[in-house]
Structure 1
Amino acid sequence: MSALCVINQVPATVGNLCTGCVTKLHTTVLQVPRLLVELDVTITKQARQTTPGAGGSGGERALVLNLAASDAADKVRMWLRAVAHLTVANGEPVPVGMRDLAAWTARRLSAAARHPEIADYHSGLVGAVADGWRSVDRAPERRVVGTCDCGGILSTTQDRAEVWCPDCKVPWDVADLLEMRAQKLDDKVVTAEGLSVIFRSVLRVSLTAATVRKWVERKQIATVSEKPSTFRVSDAIATWESLHGPLPGRKKQEVSEPA
């Protein structure tokens, strides 16, 4: 009797997977570069919609970010790297860029399919990509304002003060959601690529992932974790401001004097 696919229990044809599951994984891997571009557009569009124009009141609103799309992009990158590393031999170099990594991984899925834990990686990447597409804000008149406690994506039109979760039907106040997202931005932990998106779309200055890596080499910023390297947004802002001066439109944090 032939071995069964660890996903849907039909006869396996490639390692621990059947032909259908290998095809699904291959298609999902190749979707990643395009999905990340769409998520980047969603994040940027959200910033344009929520950042006040000249003469607007206050600078805090400029920190509003579509964290749902940003979190989705981070998870997609994480799971693609995880699947890719199932195929790596000792000491073998792995592409860094997502486009190169996706193409490289797609050519090596037969090796990944032989891994005993491929079921978890398969569901992880497929699920992350599906969530990513749900986070893409395709309608120009709508905006993503956050994520429900149940995980549902909360999106609404510009003029609505309340939004209902499409999954669990719980109502949320839009203003409260946007304020929470603004407060969370400084503590958000992202990759160098994520910092680049945040600085460009929200803080309105150019910061490349390569510059962030140079900061690491010069010990100008500390990583929160390695493989992949991640950084706290507040640390990146502090490094930028120490090198270039205060960011425009950003309210300086007040520090209480000791008693």
Structure 2
Amino acid sequence: MRATAFCIALFACVLCLTTFTGCARRDVLVIGMDATYPPFEFKDPQGKVSGISVAIGDEIGKTLGKTVEYRNMGFDGLIPALQSGQIDLIISSLTASPERRKSIDFSDPYVKTGLSILVAKDSSVKSSEDLRAPGRKLAVRLATTGEQWCRTELPNAQKISLDTDAACVLEVVNGTVDAWVYDQVSVMNYHAQHPSRTRALLAPLREESWAVGVKQGREDLKTKVNETIARMKKEGVFAKLADQYLAKERDLMKAQGLPFVFE
């Protein structure tokens, strides 16, 4: 009898603890990102994740009335983490590509950009067509749409697969590859860091949109994310974020007659 009573009490305690934990978790929105992509997601000098993506996540947290927890992880691990329930959303400069839509859902877009080319200074590459010449060597970052484009459009080019932006940039800077295909903002930033060793070809190879990644079936959450993005546009929040983080890039794109990412 005592053993039975003890088991019942123990079960009740576990149930209460589980219920409490579940409630606590329901009050927290867990957002995954790869914080190696300034100014959208990066670590500040104190080691805290920061940037435009964090500002978006904080606004979504306000809409939901939840505390936001950010989990920094490798880019290629974000979608599996979302699918398995380890995170609730992905906000990590994630292109809403047809291939990714097979495994996850996306919010309305908040950035419109395009794939462009970071070229070694002494490379003969002047346009995307030059990438099709025999013997071209390209750096590609794993699990990105730039890699997918290169493998589809440039099947005969030699490709060096790398898992960080820094490694791809280094290959271009050292002249060991002709080019790296990546998004416009990154290409502008990395060219600015290495103006004497690189060139930026910003005309888009393909237009893309970035959106918040949502687990399939979470229509309720996706609706709230879309409400937040619409509110941020209406209230001019993205314009303020551009002033804070992307003023130089905005001016450069407009000077070249290219639409800015938040337009």
Q: TM-score, normalised by structure 2?
A: 0.24
Q: TM-score, normalised by structure 1?
A: 0.25
- Structure possessing the higher radius of gyration over alpha carbons: 2
Q: More strand per residue: 1 or 2?
A: 2
Q: More helix per residue: 1 or 2?
A: 1
Higher relative contact order (CA 8 A, sep 6+): 2
